[in-house]
Copies of this chain bind each other. A is one copy, B any other.
């Protein structure tokens, strides 16, 4: 079994921002030398998510507006004593916070429209995302 571990770092300009990272994950897969296996892409911070979805700007806005409507960022939360990011913690659960990606023949085994995104919900500071690949 082979394994390969990488840490991507992000500092977003906006508090809430989606960044496409398919290329970074593909590069990690190539570097790993794994032909058949899994890539786990997991934010190491608990106010962010990694998802697979469509690279379409309108949709990204729809996600953010939907999250804000369901769980308003500036509502009252017990967590927000000296903090203001309770909603970010909740958003990342609603979006499902991590993905496991299939690797076949040395490449991400993706459908036509699958793209990987880092979803920052409490940005403007340094964050890390782990890419861990196991396989053969």
Please list the residues of chain A having a beta carbon within 8 angstroms of any beta carbon in chain B: 1, 3, 5, 36-38, 40, 42-46, 51-54, 56-59, 61-63, 66, 70-71, 77-81, 86, 89-90, 92-102, 104, 109-111, 113-114, 128, 130, 132, 134-136
Contact = CB atoms under 8 A, between A and B. Distances in A.
Mostly, the A contact residues are: mixed
A68 to B, nearest CB: 13
A46 B52 contact: yes
A130 B113 contact: no
Contacts of A135: 1, 3, 134
Contacts of A5: 36, 102, 104, 109
Nearest to A55: B46
